[in-house]
Each structure stands twice: as structure tokens, then as C-alpha cells.
Structure 1
């Protein structure tokens, strides 16, 4: 795991200056994305199309040099707050004052959105966030992943994949700060995560390090040397204004961190760093009822949920496997054998 002690000594501004030497952004030049060119100092929204893939994007190509930032919503089509937050940001941004280029991917999984599907694409029943780096000759979801890898990830320097809880998930707002064993990249990613202003930061090292098997959208960035965060803001497939406003704030903080807009980042003064997430597991099909809620502190062995069979008989009491904080619970009753209805974050000691 990345040395958190070292990372706390790093100065955010110094990191950003250091990274500027390796940025892809080219000062005051047109920016091309999926065959559409946006001139310096211009903003345009359009449907990026290739084959059967359609992606609504806004490109803000700043008049001044700076990094290329990708902010993506709708990797899962039923996670709404970030979609509205990016619409607001797209309307607000003025390309004449932006440094660098920001790509707002409003909906990465358009068919999943219109199909009202929990995480999946109805064209092939696949989860986009498990199909990277994709295939141009593969299924519908694999083709989306390949285009996102080739056209989007290849052109950026920083990435935030903006999620929330699906209709069955209740979540405590948090950000994943992944690490892949590259000390400089991992430290920079952690500083980026803190700069979002989110209180709960999960250190995440469970993804592959092979670019050819990157699996998820942000890991595709990380395995190519680019910081890629995942934010989780809002839950239960809701579109509440509080979550929309917070997702918007996190997006703006990402731009402040990269000096793309005038303003200061505001890392949370009571940030909690989690070194691991542990899950409960059901041994039965049936109905699940949580006995805790998000944000609760639990001790190892504490009862966190109950499983009953189809006839109402209690068949299992789920216990916390570790001491920690409840980050996610399945709020809806259906449960399958081997599913994990409660996630517990293990705070760093």
C-alpha cells in the first residue's frame, strides 16, 4: 500500500506543478475528440458517434494552457446526481477563463439509462465498468469501453468517474483513491482524492495492473499512468438536489486542484482514510433486512442484517467481519446466495 505518512507531507501545489511537465494538453490548440474538433477558447456539446456507440459530451477547450480533465457520469445508467451536476457545470463554464481542456461525458451508458437498468446495458446485459479496455469487435458494452479507452483515456491527464448508489444501494458518500504500485502516481492520485473535499476516502488496490486487462473505467486511466478516481455521491437511484450540488462541488474542486479555474481546494478537515473494505455474505436466497445504516460504527461480530426465506423464517444473521464504518447496504429486500449486502470500511489506524 502507498505510504500514507509520506503523502501527508506532500504539498498539493508542488505536485500539480511537477505534473505539468508531463501533461498532454497543448496550449491554445484545437482539441479533437471522436472526430469533432473544438477550437481553443470554445465550448461545444454534441453526440460523439462511432458505429453503434453514441455518447453525449461537452468539450470545453480553454483559451489558456493546462491539463486535460475527464469528468464522466452515467457509467451506470441509473446513477443520476452526477448527470445533473455535469449539465450545470457545462452551462456554467466559460472557455475563455478555463486553463486546459475539460471533457464532460454526460452519459457513458446511454442505453442503460434509457433502459432504466441497474448497472447493466440492456443490449448485452453487461456492466460497462467491468469490460475495459473493451473490444471494437465485441458486444455493445465492449465497444463502448474500447471507444472510451482509445478516444477519451488516451487524451486525458486526470479522470473522475462519478457514481452513486443504484436503486438497491444506500451509500455513504465516499471517493476511491486507487493505487497500482507506482509510488509517484499513487501519491498524486491520493492528493487528487483529498482535494475533492470528500470526507471518506477509500484506498483501493484490488484492480489489475495490466493495461490489457484494466476491467474498470478509472483503472484504465491508472494503468496508463493517469490518476483516476471514483466518487460515490447519492444513492437509491435518487436525483435529490443535495447530492447533485455535492457532485457539482466535487467536480469544481477537481478543476481547482488542477488550476483549471481560479479558486482553492478545500480538503475535508475531518477526512477519514479507509485501508480496506470488508463485506458480509448471504448463504441463502430470500429477503434481506439491514439492522444498521450507512455511517454507523460497528464492531466485529455485531449483527448487521438478517436473511429470511420466502416463507418468513429467519435463516441467517449476518455479523460484521471487522470493526469499521458501514459504507454501503442493500436497502431493498431481494438477496441471493453469495451476495454481499453490507460493506464495512476499515479505517486506517
Structure 2
């Protein structure tokens, strides 16, 4: 891609390869330190972190930064302009399911390959910043993945706590094979690099509260890594989830929620109904166990096999 940023300088540019374009800002600090990648827009309809990274990149002075922070402002530019829920309109694929990609594959596979080769390979820490799509409400949370490497997993958990987020999901469901890493942060983890996923905001909104929170999270990670001065704000009452249960619809039709995000529920609680196109209830979704509602669909369309509700199980 050929772009260079001198020590003590900040450089904003469009990274290009063939027909792939990526808006990037590199802040190459005047003092040595780690290299951190902060990415937003992996799903093009998830907006708060996109605005948060714009603000942080503009605020930073390279002369006061230790190490290098790479801002990938929009990892899925085609999905953003296509106004697509999670997918890339060029091939209808979800970027966060195509890593490590292929240089000769479809458009999304080539993008994943570029991100693996030119970004993941050059960093020490990674935060992939998401929010709820236009159909979802989410309780703000961070995924702290683990891959069976005791030292890496422990460091990743400390990194997750350093975001300042209260709700932390322990996540070990991704493949351990770097050749089949599937997601953006798991591509980092399978290469020995702590990689988090944050979820802040929902319903494809760009509300100021979510933007400010995402900004604070990104800045907290830099403070934790001693890239900026200050105290990173570990939440005083963290809630750790050992698992997330996604509850599936057995029918096509309309979903009606009967609960809200953040609500603590008991096993057997009614969480939502699925009705057919004539309004007749076909299914009542109930909680299989005690937990906290982390995600719920707020829009009616639902298809068989989709998950309109997710419950976090506290450790």
C-alpha cells in the first residue's frame, strides 16, 4: 500500500489496493511503544465507533503519544455506502466471517486478506469496535476471547477490563486455527495478539452518548498500554459472563419482544413471541436458564433459524 508516517507525525490517507479503499489515520508517536489497531465499520451500519475514532484521531498529538496507533475508520466501505446490515453488497458476505481471507477470492475475501496482511501483521494489540445493527438493541459489552494460550488469554482479559466497560463476555467459540480464523479479532488472537470486540450503541443510531462512550473506551486502551498518560478506568463492578445463549426462531414471520436489554431473567421467563403473517402466535421464546438480556431484536421481521434474543450467563 506504500504509505509511510514519520516518527512524531500524524497522517490521514485513503489506503488503496486494486478497487479496495480504506480510510486510515496513523499516529506515529514521538516516543517508542506498542502498535495498536483501532477499527470501526467492520459492519457498515454500526456508526458510533466510526465517529468516536474520527474524534480521537483528530485530538491526538503525535508528539505526546508513545508507540503507534492505527485508526481504520471504516473497514467495510462498500457496506457503509450500501447501507447494508453486516454484509458487503459486492458479494453479500459478512466481512467478520471471512478471515483470514484470500487474495484471489470474492471482494470480501480479498478485503479480509488485505486486513490480515497489511494491518494484523503489523500490530501488538487490536480492538474491533462494533454496535447493534439497525434491527438490534444491545447492552454495551466487550468480548474477551480466549484461545487456550494462558498468557495471551490473561493479557486479553486485562485488556478487556481496561476498556472501562462493565459487561465482559468470555468468548472461546472461535476456531484456534490461524488459517481459518473467521473473524477480525480472532485473526489477531490466533497470531498471538490480544484482540477485543466492543459493542456500543444500537439500532444503527449515531447518538452522542454512544459516541462519547466509544471514544472513552478507545482512549482507555491507549492509557492501559502507556501510550497516553493517565489512569485507565476499570469499572468498579464488572460483570463477567461465561457464556452467551442465542435463542432461535423456529418460524418465519413477526417477532415481538417481551423483555428489554439489561433485564435479569429467570429460567422459563417469556422473552418474545413469533407470529405468522396473519398475526397468529406460532412460538413463545422462553429463557432456558437464568441470565441477563444482552441482545434483542427491535424490528418485526424474523426467519427460521435466526436469533432474536441473546442471554448472557454470569460466571
User: Could you say which TM-score interval applies, normalised by the shorter chain?
Assistant: over 0.9
Match of 2:160 among 181, 193, 210: 193
Which residue number corresponds to residue 109 of structure 2?
142
Query: How far, CA to CA, are the matches of 2:106 and 2:2 in structure 1?
Result: 22
Asked whether the 8 Å contact 1:112–1:120 carries over to 2, the reply is: yes
How many residues were matched structurally? 315
Q: Secondary structure at the match of 1:36?
A: coil
Which residue number corresponds to residue 211 of structure 1?
178
The offset of 1:110, in angstroms, is 0.2
Query: How far, CA to CA, are the matches of 2:237 and 2:298 in structure 1?
Result: 27
Which residue number corresponds to residue 220 of structure 1?
187
RMSD, aligned α-carbons: 0.5
Which residue number corresponds to residue 341 of structure 1?
308
Which residue number corresponds to residue 244 of structure 2?
277
Which residue number corresponds to residue 68 of structure 1?
35
Which residue number corresponds to residue 324 of structure 1?
291
Asked whether the 8 Å contact 1:278–1:322 carries over to 2, the reply is: no
Query: How far, CA to CA, are the matches of 1:240 and 1:197 in structure 2?
Result: 19
Match of 2:4 among 37, 45, 48: 37
Asked whether the 8 Å contact 1:279–1:321 carries over to 2, the reply is: no
Structure 2: 5+ residue runs without aligned partners?
Answer: none
Which residue number corresponds to residue 31 of structure 1?
none
2:88 equivalent to 1:126: no
Which residue number corresponds to residue 89 of structure 1?
56
2:200 equivalent to 1:233: yes
Q: Secondary structure at the match of 1:343?
A: strand
Structure 1 runs of 4+ aligned residues shifted over 2 Å read none
Structure 1: 5+ residue runs without aligned partners?
Answer: 1-33
The offset of 1:321, in angstroms, is 1.3
2:230 equivalent to 1:260: no
The offset of 1:90, in angstroms, is 0.9
Asked whether the 8 Å contact 1:324–1:344 carries over to 2, the reply is: yes
Which residue number corresponds to residue 56 of structure 1?
23
TM-score, normalised relative to structure 2 = 1.00
Which residue number corresponds to residue 71 of structure 2?
104
2:136 equivalent to 1:169: yes
Asked whether the 8 Å contact 1:160–1:228 carries over to 2, the reply is: yes
Give deviations 1:11-49, integer Å, cap 9, x for gaps: xxxxxxxxxxxxxxxxxxxxxxx3101000000100000
Asked whether the 8 Å contact 1:120–1:128 carries over to 2, the reply is: yes
Q: Secondary structure at the match of 1:235?
A: coil
Asked whether the 8 Å contact 1:128–1:142 carries over to 2, the reply is: yes
